Amino acid sequence: MRAMEIYRDGILAGTLVEKSRTAYVFTYSDLYYQDQNARAVSLTLPKTQKEYHSDHLFPFFFNMLSEGVNRKLQSTLLRIDEEDHFGLLIATAQYDTIGAITVKPIR
């Protein structure tokens, strides 16, 4: 099982957990969920429920990954399987991302 913290504008919004390659869970943190002013992480993960389940990496997080040649290069340099979307997300979305979302691995 692998997990990461999800931050929106530098504020902890929740956690994303890979239970297996076919079981993912995104959970809003209690403080973030209760904050009326905090915006949802994405339109596909609204703050209408605290926990979301999926049998594949949520499209919002999948779309944060590079594509094509860039993904192949990142996979080679980082020694991560090109099909390991969760691993690539942990390795590449910690710092300079497009948008308000960043991630940090939970060890």
> What's the total number of domains in the chain?
1
Contact status, residue 61 vs residue 54, Cβ threshold 8 Å:
no
Percentage, residues of the chain above pLDDT 90: 84
Residue 26 tokens read as: 């995104």
CA nearest to 101, candidates 14, 7, 31, 38: 7
pLDDT tens track for 49-83: 999 999 999 999 999 998 999 999 999 999 999 99
Give dist(CA 102, CA 90) in Å, integer. 9
Residue 32, CB-side half-sphere exposure with 13 Å CA sphere: 23
Looking at the predicted structure, is the pLDDT value of residue 96 above 80?
no
3-41 burial string, b = 16+ CB within 10 Å, else e? bbebbbeeeebbbbbbeeeeebbbbbbeebeeeeebeeb
Residues with Cβ within 8 Å of 84's Cβ and at least 6 positions away in sequence, in order, are none
Segments forming the whole domain that contains residue 54: 2-106
